[in-house]
Structure 1
Amino acid sequence: MKRNLFSAIMLTIVTLLFFSGVYTFVVWGIAQVAPNKGKGEIIEANGKKYYANIGQLFNDDKYFYSRPSAVGYNAAGSGGSNKGPSNNEYLGQVKARIDTFLVHNPEIDKSEIPIDLVTASGSGLDPNISPKAATVQIKRIAAIRKIPSEKLTKLIADQTERPLFGLFGPEKINVLKLNLALDNLN
């Protein structure tokens, strides 16, 4: 028994040292070679500072809508709704988001609405939408801003971020960057 107890204590000490020291230092070191040295990407526009890696609320019809947030876009309390697809309250929220989207985009069929426009991400703070989610909003924005659809299609293509190394993750568009670029078109 003494041997097992000693082994358990040694394993605890080694694990504690590894995860509180070595692992932390390795992650910090990797962050130092990343863009912005592991800090958030800050964008300054119109005299204001925005964090590009945290979801921002865009629900004005002249902008591309952002992904819904389960935490009201509050970065202090990141988290999902934790409600499953069989939860009636959750289904009601998604239905309300679909109905709202259709009111503002009447030319779009319900089946064309991408899921990322009506469901929140696991963190509730996803700053990105899919290219399809941006494309489905072109008609509304073109009509309001009186911009040719082709110009908006090109803007979406220019703002689309490809998967890491062409393999990891889906194509995505940062909504804040997209909407700032949209404002610069006018």
Structure 2
Amino acid sequence: MQLVTTSLRVSLVLMALCGLIYNLAVTGIAQGLMPHKADGSLIEDSSGRIVGSAHIGQTFTEPRWFHGRLSSIGYAADGSGTPNYAPSNPDLLERARQSAIDWQAANPAVPLGQVTADLITNSGSGLDPDISPEGARAQIPRVSAATGIPAAELEKLVERQVEPRQLGVFGEPTVNVLELNLALQALASNS
């Protein structure tokens, strides 16, 4: 009986320590050091309404918006992932071919050779909110035609939204599509 009592006490102490105290400490530290990130890196529009997260992409299909990467899961954050096809898989090749055809139909002013891979392929998670600066620039003719904003202004807008490599060496420069479209919305309303 003493062994059972000791086991229960140890279990309760460990549950309190690992299940409650540790979680409260980590949450408190995160809220103190980086509250925006701890709360999900939420993005607000000009009226203060939360419109998304900086870490989860959204689907933009209208010609007046910059489009993000493809997502085979519809950017559903509750189940990230994408089919893990080998580069030689016929399904992947067909999906990429169809994506290129769809992209070319929506962007006839841009030669297919200027389409970056990130515009016609999924990310590993299916949630990637970013595209390459080149991918954003390739969409300028379509967005300019749809909004009436001169291409030169859109080029400047894209340049202001480019996030450089992390610490100057890690990763590639990126553009967050939601933040870019919010900046585009502000530019359009000010024009």
Same fold by TM (over 0.5)?
yes
State how far apart, in whole Å, the 1-side matches of 2:56 and 2:27 are. 20
Identify the residue that residue 112 of structure 1 maps to in structure 2.
Answer: 114
Residues 114 and 27 (structure 1 numbering): CA distance in 2 closer, same or farther, change over 3 Å?
Answer: farther
For these two proteins, the number of residue pairs brought into alignment is: 169
Does residue 44 (structure 1) correspond to residue 44 (structure 2)? The answer is: yes
1:179 is matched with which residue? 181
- CA offset digits 1:68-122 (Å, max 9, x no partner): 0121211100012111111111111111110011011112222211000000111
TM-score, structure 1 length as denominator? 0.81
Where 2:78 maps in the other structure, the secondary structure is helix
Structure 1 segments (4+ residues) deviating >6 Å:
23-30
Distance in 2, matches of 1:120 and 1:37, equals 25
Aligned to 1:17: none
* Alpha-carbon shift at residue 26 of structure 1 (Å): 9.7
SS state of the match for residue 124, structure 2?
Answer: coil
Q: 1:145 to 1:153 in 2, by over 3 A?
A: same
Partner of 1:124: 126
Shift of 1:34: 3.3
**Compared CA separation, residues 96 and 26, structure 1 to 2 (3 A):** farther
Q: Give the one of 60, 63, 78 matched to 1:61.
A: 63
- Give yes or no for contact 1:59–1:66 (8 Å, CA) kept in 2: no
CA distance in 1, matches of 2:186, 2:100: 29
Unmatched tracts of structure 2, length 5 or more: 1-17
TM-aligned CA distance change 1:135 to 1:24, over 3 Å: same
C-alpha separation in 1, matches of 2:167 and 2:29: 17
Output the TM-score relative to the length of structure 2.
0.79
Secondary structure (helix, strand or coil) at the match of 1:78 reads coil
Could you say what the CA RMSD is over the residues aligned between the two structures, in angstroms? 2.5
